[in-house]
Amino acid sequence: MIRNYLLVGWRTLWRHKTQTFINVLGLSIAFAAGTLLFLTAYIELSYDRFNADADRIFRPYFFENRSEGIQKNSGMPYPMAPTLKKTFPEIEQITRYTETAGIVQYKGKDYQKDIRTADPDLLTLFSFPMLQGDARRALNNLSDIVISEDMARDVFGKENPIGKPLLVKDFGEPKQFIVTGVVANARPTSSITYDAFIRTENRPNYAADKDNWHNGNHLIYVKLRPDIDRVTMEQRLQSFTQTYFQETIRDLSKNGALAKQKNDAFSLRLQPLLDVHFNTELTEGMSPGKVYVYTLLTIGLLIVLIASINFINLALARSFTRMREVGVRKSLGALRVQLFSQLWSESLLTCFIALLIGLGLAIWLLPDFNTLFNAQLTLDYLTNPISWAVILAGFGLIAFISGGYPAWVMARLPAVKVLRGQIKTGKPGSLRNGLIILQFVITCVLITSTFVVLRQIHYLRDQPLGFNEDQVISIPINQNQNGPLALERLRNRLANNPNIVSVSGTAINIGSGLDGGYSKSTMGFIHKGKEIRTNWVRADYDYLKTLGIKLLAGREFSGSYAMDTISNVIITTSMAHQLGVKNPVGTFFQAGADNTTYQIVGLIPDFHLYDLRNKLEPVTLYMKPNDPIRYILVRVTPQSMVSVMEVLKHEWKQIAPKQEFWGSFLNENTDRWYRREEQLSKMYGIAAGIAIALSCLGLFAIVLLSTEQRTKEIGIRKVLGASVMSVVTLISKDFLRLLLVAILIASPIAWYAMNQWLQEFAYRIDVEWWVLAGSGLLAIVIALLTVGYQSLNAALANPVKSLSNE
């Protein structure tokens, strides 16, 4: 019987090729888009879930309720972890962790690797399988090093690495380590990545800061006992912060912080491990954020929903032409369940064909999708049992709802009334109208979202940053390089080049360079009883000249003044406002753990050191030779930008032969601040395009069936003198009403959703009425072109032929 159902179903689909093609095409696109989007969201949502007891692992962070607003900071001081472990038996395991890098040398050959510093508990706290060695003892000694599977292969080849010596550089003086373990490579969905682990105590500044509670320079991860929850632990940590951070709490209290939130001016809180990947507050917006993932899921669902609506509408519309078939089958003794099975098998067959084509399309588009959205999808994810379970579940749901409902409607038709022609077929049902409205509501919202995101990106890029980013090249310096020395060498080699305007250096890059590096350094201190907080930026000579920043008062750093490299600073106007002075040049203040006295020698306008999601922050420039230079900035003449880049590549090989040249233009780096928004705009744009295509495809099919059902009416109207335009208007006006209703519903939804999204930015556009109107007008024009084409064909048909065929 099933074979008979499928055979009859196939013949029916083949007989109605146009409707079958529209259904298969729409569902195939929906399955392909939905599969790619759902799998991408699945990867993001699976971050860190491979860890056993992931729900008991947390990352501590400081919550500071400052007078200017709430601030969160995950940078921890060195004594924090040992003291927590000794104080709280509720903590089962704890580790410090720092994302560092360095060079390992074996048999005279150097390898650049991500060498992370951590404590022994890390190897058992996280589920990183040990391939060789004992996880409980592999980092017990300060000279131990645990390497990844890939690093073992790169460095040792087929040799057994256990017990072999490695010379590690970039952690102070070069030091020899012994390989005590090989750990599996970091999973793609792990927030912690690595090539090797060494002990935290090997960091160069550890000896000086091991008892310093005011220098946060690493992360901490804790695993709580099963009987302790996060809220309970955070309550118990209150007394801990009161004991070890009295000075910080006192300083905050002086500035009115306590009045804001029930004495919670400063506390130590716990961030769940499963939230680490999505947190944008503690990573300054560098993480994707759950909103991005939920957007992926929502768009995927909407695309599938539009395709399903098309399927339902076409099936219901075609049911009017199959009423007599259903009536005859019933009169010959067919049961309702048999009719339902027959009609549903046709839908099931259509969905199955669309699924196969959709999966093939998804595989074909996989490389382009990864490139476009910076995704990490592979065929392995498509063959994952969980992925197949989700795909098949989605297929079953779509086939059941989209095909099952129309089949159920037709199977319930009374045979006698159908055969007597007593069931009216000319008027569209409210369900069909409602589904068409829903389709275009989704389409209008996606169109509006695309316009708003594109306008916001354009607005951000047009905002003045306070410096001139054009014709400036930024060159990252590897951690194994001596930054100040590399800067001086490059400056000397370019001194006689007429195309070089100036050369400078800094510890903090502006924008997102090719190295992907991100850093932020802040300094907090008390000045005249008031709390001051500023970005603390290591700069070098000609920094202002290279960035095109004009002095408002005072002078720039100069080699003629010895104190410039010791205690002189240049500040921005917002920093001067914090200090409470109009003319700050010559003003002194004390800051830092050693209360160094600094003198202000220059005042400059505010400039955006970071992206425009946040408001301008105070900046203080200083120039201590012992602090690192991580980026070299080179301003070039406008006509020589390309040629100078080649010169820099050549000179860099002479200065740093073992380091890859990653120079990039500063204006490109600031553009990359908004990669996430660009991906969002691409996603909305493509989704809107697919939504428009699917909606119009469904609309075209509905109009086609509607004109077929009204062939006799149209012919009679033309015989009685109706014009072509009146016939087109007759067919189109009902659909136009539906579109207007959809626009009225979609506009407030789009306005609210995009306003919520814009709250993320300190500098943002307004969602004007004309954006909503323009989106609706675009939807109307596209839909009317679709409806009008088929309406015009019907209006131009020969009425004599229409009536004779009827």
What confidence tens digit (pLDDT) does each residue in 224-280 have? Answer: 999 999 999 999 998 898 888 887 777 666 655 554 454 567 889 999 999 888 876
Q: Round to whole Å and give the CA distance between 444 and 742.
A: 8
For residue 80, pLDDT over 80 is answered with: yes
Q: Any bridge partners for residue 167, and if so which?
A: 105, 176
Per-residue pLDDT at 327: 60
| 118 vs 205, residue with greater confidence | 118
Q: Are 7 and 267 in contact (CB under 8 A)?
A: no
Structure tokens at 626: 């012992």
Structure tokens at 713: 């009416």
**What angle separates helix 724-758 from helix 430-462, to the nearest 10 degrees?**
50
**Mean pLDDT of the 684-704 span:** 78
| 293 vs 752, residue with greater confidence | 752
Per-residue pLDDT at 775: 86
**Mean pLDDT of the 203-225 span:** 87
Give just the sign of the alpha carbon dihedral 744, 747, 753, 756: negative
Q: Are 698 and 314 in contact (CB under 8 A)?
A: yes
Per-position b or e across 639-669, b if 16+ CB within 10 A of its CB: ebeeebbebbeebbeebbeebebbbbbbeeb
At residue 194 the predicted structure's pLDDT band, cuts being 50, 70 and 90, is very high
Q: Round to whole Å and give the CA distance between 253 and 351.
A: 65
For residue 220, pLDDT over 90 is answered with: yes
At residue 427 the predicted structure's pLDDT band, cuts being 50, 70 and 90, is very low
Per-residue pLDDT at 13: 57
User: Taking the CB of residue 214, how many other CB atoms lie within 10 A of it?
Assistant: 12
Terminal-residue alpha carbon distance, the chain: 36
Q: Any bridge partners for residue 566, and if so which?
A: none
Of the given ranges (61-75, 359-373, 419-433, 615-629), which has the lowest mean pLDDT?
419-433
Burial class, 745, CB count within 10 angstroms (exposed 0-12 / middle 13-18 / buried 19+): middle
CA distances from 44 to 61, 291, 368, 788 (A): 23, 11, 19, 44
Task: Map tokens 């070039």 to a residue.
Answer: 636
Of the given ranges (30-44, 285-299, 749-763), which has the lowest mean pLDDT?
285-299
Residues 6+ apart with CB under 8 A from 542: 502, 503, 504, 556
Tens digit of each residue's pLDDT (9 = 90 or more) over 4-51: 555 555 556 566 666 777 778 888 888 888 888 888 888 888 889 999
Q: Are 29 and 358 in contact (CB under 8 A)?
A: yes
Task: Map tokens 């939920």 to a residue.
Answer: 294
For residue 328, pLDDT over 70 is answered with: no
Per-residue pLDDT at 122: 94
Per-residue pLDDT at 182: 95
For residue 425, pLDDT over 50 is answered with: no
Per-residue pLDDT at 595: 78
Q: Round to whole Å and give the CA distance between 204 and 207.
A: 7
Select the highest-mean-pLDDT range: 130-144, 197-211, 429-443: 130-144
Of the given ranges (78-92, 174-188, 541-555, 695-709), which has the lowest mean pLDDT?
695-709
Where are the chain's structural domains? 1-47+285-425, 472-674
Per-residue pLDDT at 254: 61
For residue 285, pLDDT over 50 is answered with: no
Report which secondary-structure segment, H or E, holds 631.
strand 631-636
Tens digit of each residue's pLDDT (9 = 90 or more) over 447-498: 888 888 888 888 888 888 888 888 898 988 876 678 888 888 888 888 888 8
For residue 316, pLDDT over 70 is answered with: no
Q: Any bridge partners for residue 620, and if so which?
A: 536, 571
At residue 569 the predicted structure's pLDDT band, cuts being 50, 70 and 90, is very high
For residue 719, pLDDT over 70 is answered with: no
User: Does residue 422 sit in helix, strand or coil?
Assistant: coil
- 232 Ramachandran zone, left/alpha/beta (phi>0; psi -120 to 50): alpha
Tens digit of each residue's pLDDT (9 = 90 or more) over 646-667: 888 888 888 887 777 888 888 8
User: Does residue 3 sit in helix, strand or coil?
Assistant: helix
Per-residue pLDDT at 794: 59
Of the given ranges (251-260, 276-285, 742-751), which has the lowest mean pLDDT?
251-260
**Mean pLDDT of the 700-712 span:** 67
Per-residue pLDDT at 259: 46
pLDDT above 70 coverage of the chain, percent: 80
Q: Round to whole Å and give the CA distance between 426 and 712.
A: 12
Per-residue pLDDT at 246: 80
166 closest CA partner among 103, 114, 99, 123: 103
Q: Round to whole Å and give the CA distance between 72 and 617.
A: 16
Structure tokens at 489: 């060498």
Structure tokens at 721: 């003198």
Per-position b or e across 88-113, b if 16+ CB within 10 A of its CB: beebbbbbbbeebebbbbbeeeeebb
Per-position b or e across 779-803, b if 16+ CB within 10 A of its CB: bbebbbebbbebbbebbebebeebe
